[in-house]
């Protein structure tokens, strides 16, 4: 019996159509007092959580298929993590790692670096979030070349964060950059090899080779010399961009290209890391080792923590050039160390692979069953279901995505989207196969409802 089975007897449970009266009160206050510079998928007001289950303010219970946007990989309030947090909170809350020293940092660093897929001697820099980690990685990359290389390559569809440096190398949606130009100079965006929608006009696995050729034949010959590029930033699997898995040869060939031109390869594993794909980090699916790796989100099970890990010789910024007052908070570090230990002791990497394979097997059948379902892709428990209005033209079904998510919400499943019309399935990696398929039952019913309405309108 799993530890969270004691929390709730029966899920999902909808006692009042959401949002209920208590939730609506919070929604009104939120609109009055909180800056609305973000968009929400539906009006879910979360009260509490236990494992892969969340409860709203009105007592409705939901199966959590988004893990707090990829953060709660161990589920909500894992008892071993909570115990460690309480113990550390009684001992030390803060004393600024980049001004002083404490034991929690070196103990965590030793444990964390043991799972990071980087060759040779490694070091880590601690911060508070994914976007702060990307900012740090940008400085580390440029600092390594002491300013002699100014250019950065990143990918269309990528999402690296919302601060100005990370925003500069993102290429997900135009709204993210609206009003904030000019951004960081010297950034060149290149197509990401999406086998389903290859932007270079080839099909399937050929897309990866086409992108590598594009970099060498067009970018390095016409826009910037390869020896002027400091780093290439890439998500091994694009997250916000649509849960896009590249062809198998792409990342190995990107590694070879970086080696040819002495370019640093930086993996953004903020969403893909800490067991999400059934490996500690998604790069391990292809056996590719980066020079730098950025991790956050699930790293500390809900507490703010980011980390930039890299080859020791690359982590060479001079003293005084980079720091973070709150980075490497001792409570967050203690929680993160517990996260790593729990994943090992509970064999959660294999659970993510096993349950993920079961989900992909089932939802892949929906491509033939439902007119709206165009493509299924993923690794472990990072799975995308792309909705389309037409399977030949692959026109995005953006409105229909919103309708499916709302239908699921009202039935007791918390699931969100990615890209322009992709359902992202990312439950906690502790989820059982039984509970995962209960969530899929709700999702399938929601797709069926919207698909039937779509067919009526179309025909």
Domain boundaries along the sequence of the chain: 15-77+347-458, 80-345
Residues 6+ apart with CB under 8 A from 394: 196, 197, 374, 388
pLDDT band, residue 433 (cuts 50/70/90): very high
80-345: what CATH class?
A: alpha beta
> How far apart are the C-alpha atoms of 239 and 250, rounded to whole Å?
17
The CATH number given to 15-77+347-458 is 3.90.1150.10
Give this prediction's pTM. 0.97
* Burial tier of 92 (Cβ tally within 10 Å: 0-12, 13-18, 19+): middle
- Taking Cα atoms as reference points, which of 71, 16, 73 lies closest to residue 45? 16
Q: Above 80 in pLDDT, residue 334?
A: yes
Encode pLDDT of 186-217 as tens digits: 999 999 999 999 999 998 899 999 999 999 99
Residues 6+ apart with CB under 8 A from 99: 323, 325
Higher pLDDT, 185 or 8: 185
Can you give the pLDDT at residue 1?
65
Instruction: Centre a 10 Å sphere on the Cβ of residue 315 and count the other Cβ atoms it contains.
Output: 20
Q: Above 80 in pLDDT, residue 448?
A: yes
- Taking Cα atoms as reference points, which of 297, 267, 277 lies closest to residue 70? 297
Can you give the pLDDT at residue 396?
97
Can you give the pLDDT at residue 444?
98
Can you give the pLDDT at residue 2?
85
> How far apart are the C-alpha atoms of 70 and 421, rounded to whole Å?
18
Can you give the pLDDT at residue 7?
80
Encode pLDDT of 262-318 as tens digits: 999 999 999 999 999 999 999 999 999 999 999 999 999 999 999 999 999 999 999
% of the chain surpassing 70 pLDDT:
99
């Amino acid at each position: 019996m799993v530890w969270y089975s004691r929390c709730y007897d029966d899920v999902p449970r909808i006692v009042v159509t959401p949002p209920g009266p208590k939730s609506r009160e919070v929604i009104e206050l939120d609109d009055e007092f909180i800056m609305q510079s973000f968009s929400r998928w539906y009006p879910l007001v979360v009260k509490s959580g236990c494992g892969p289950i969340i409860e709203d303010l009105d007592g409705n219970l939901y199966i959590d298929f988004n893990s707090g946007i990829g953060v709660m990989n161990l589920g909500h309030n894992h008892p071993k993590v909570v115990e460690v947090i309480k113990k550390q909170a009684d001992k030390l809350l803060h004393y600024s790692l980049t001004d002083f020293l404490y034991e929690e940092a070196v103990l965590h660093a030793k444990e964390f670096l043991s799972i990071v897929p980087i060759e040779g001697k490694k070091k880590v820099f601690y911060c508070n979030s994914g976007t702060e980690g990307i900012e740090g990685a940008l400085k580390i990359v440029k600092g390594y070349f002491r300013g002699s290389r100014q250019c950065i390559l990143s990918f269309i569809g990528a999402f690296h964060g919302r601060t100005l440096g990370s925003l500069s190398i993102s290429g997900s949606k135009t709204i993210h950059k609206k009003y904030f130009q000019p951004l960081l100079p010297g950034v060149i965006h290149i197509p990401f090899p999406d086998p389903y929608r290859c932007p270079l006009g080839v099909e399937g696995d050929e897309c990866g080779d086409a992108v590598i050729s594009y970099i060498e034949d067009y970018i390095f010959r016409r826009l910037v010399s390869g020896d002027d590029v400091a780093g290439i930033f890439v998500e091994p699997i694009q997250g916000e961009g649509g849960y896009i898995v590249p062809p198998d040869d792409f990342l190995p060939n990107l590694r070879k290209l970086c080696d040819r031109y002495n370019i640093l390869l930086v993996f953004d594993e903020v969403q893909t890391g800490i067991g999400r794909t059934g490996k500690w980090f998604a790069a391990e699916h292809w056996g590719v080792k980066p020079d730098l790796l950025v991790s956050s989100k699930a790293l500390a099970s809900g507490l703010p923590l980011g980390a930039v890990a890299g080859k020791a010789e690359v982590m060479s910024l001079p003293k005084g050039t980079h720091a973070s007052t709150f980075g490497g908070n001792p409570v967050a570090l203690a929680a993160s160390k517990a996260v790593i230990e729990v994943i090992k002791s509970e064999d959660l990497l294999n659970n993510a692979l096993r349950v993920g394979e079961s989900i992909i097997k089932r939802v892949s059948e929906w491509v033939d069953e439902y007119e709206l379902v165009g493509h299924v892709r993923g690794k472990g428990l990072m799975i995308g279901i792309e909705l389309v209005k037409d399977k030949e033209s692959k026109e995005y079904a953006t409105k229909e995505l919103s309708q499916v998510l709302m239908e699921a919400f009202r039935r007791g499943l918390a699931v969100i989207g990615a890209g322009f019309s992709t359902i992202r399935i990312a439950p906690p990696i502790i989820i059982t196969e039984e509970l995962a398929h209960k969530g899929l039952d709700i999702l399938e019913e929601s797709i069926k409802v919207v698909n039937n309405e779509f067919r009526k309108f179309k025909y």
